[in-house]
Structure 1
Amino acid sequence: MSVDPETISEHAEPPAKRLRVEISETSPGPSAEYGQMLGKLWDPDFSDFAVYVGLNLQEYKLHRTIICAESEFLKKACKSNKSGGSPRRVELRSIRTNIFEVVLKWIYGCGYDVPEDYEASKLLDTYTAADYLGVHSLKEEIMRKISGTIQVDVTKKKLTQECTIQNPIHLMWRFAQVSSSKDFDVLQKPVQQFIALRGINTEWVKGMASVKDNHNLFNGLVIDTLQKMIFSNFCQTCRLGLTHESRLNCRGCDQKL
């Protein structure tokens, strides 16, 4: 994961106190009782694991039983730290503190709020951090909310400029650039939405299929979706007239087939 330069600044309040206030003002995850219970656990007196985030190494005192249940990365980090001697700790210099706090709220059962402007970089930073930390449930939630928004945009909005997501194709292309083939199923859900509801230019698809670059996961997402649509809309006889050209390399990882 590449380091994203962060503006070094000090929070007016400690993260534990500030996040406790923010969590109380947002909708919790599975239930109100669940969110309130986890919100109380921000008390550092009950924490047993320290995470230092960003270029300024902001300290977050967390709870192993909670973070290890959601994050594969932090679970491995907890296991690798010796139980005796110095306190358990891990550094995450490549993740910005504001992005880590979004992931942290999700882990502690307080839900995920999509940025109101749907700016690609904000969504990508959270998705990339969730991928790095191995929080797969958050990645799925981001894609679920994008899918829902695309569907609402297409079914309820008349003009493109009124849509919440101005360019869903570009947004999903950006996601494909930071993802690997293991995320194929998660990424395909919103791709299926905008293809089925909005439609795309067939010439654009032909041109895209012929692109020969080192990272064409998005091409594979779109082509696979179109293939599924063809099989669900055309009989076997009509499909005989649809030809395809076999590929030598995988569209996700570019390895030889």
Structure 2
Amino acid sequence: MSKAAEQYPVGIIGGTGLTTLSGLEITGERPVETVWGAPSAPLVEGSLGDQPVVFLSRHGNPHRIPPHQVNYRANLQALYEAGVRTVVGVNAVGGIHPDMGPAHVVIPDQIIDYTWGRPSTFFEGDLEEVTHIDFTWPYDADARETLVAAAASLGVSFSDFGVYGATQGPRLETAAEIRRMERDGCDLVGMTGMPEAVLAAELGMRYVCLGLVVNWAAGKSDHIITMAEIEEAIDKGMSSVKGMLEMSMAGLGKLTPTPQSF
């Protein structure tokens, strides 16, 4: 079978609130190792409808790995070696934009990286030459359109734009930091958007973010942020996220690998 005729599995990286996917018909689960070490959790292989899927819990299952200690390189490398060429990164985020409150779904189109100290590239060490990649548009346009169509079809409350500000964590931000990020143009804040997106780009994978707002960012409400608030938003909004994933899988699976994948 030629590469053009192959059916590539879609990768789903689940974050807070999505350690499992109920609609996934599991066919296997296997621990793997990569040259970058072990990923956060075993790869769960299965299907959503007729589309092969590989699911990976970003923080482990149970949820135990903080954002700054996730082995992002191993996660992306493991998915790539499993045949994945399109990845959906599901992220729990805080809302900065006034229209992006708790339980709102966002399909962002840009990202700003405020993280530090995380291994953030495959291109280091004993290189034959320095390698740079274009990162003008961090999220794949075709994959974004597929998710947008699914959200619209389901009647989900969503935004088809947004600048994701990726912070270090694991602490939440100060109100002053959020004001600075807002001045920078950020609409959302989260802790796992980078280096996940750029590592996917370095591998030539299509990558898209599916964000669920689980709280107002610091200083954007009249109270402090609590886990109870976050859990309530996850309970309310995760059904929309899962519905979008299920509806979009067939379309995402039809996307051909990008030329730089091989």
TM-score bracket relative to the smaller structure:
under 0.3
Name the structure where strand makes up a greater proportion of residues: 2
Name the structure where helix makes up a greater proportion of residues: 1
TM-score (normalised: structure 1): 0.27
TM-score (normalised: structure 2): 0.27
**Higher RCO, 1 vs 2 (CA within 8 Å, ≥6 residues apart):** 2
State which structure, 1 or 2, has the greater radius of gyration over its C-alpha atoms: 1
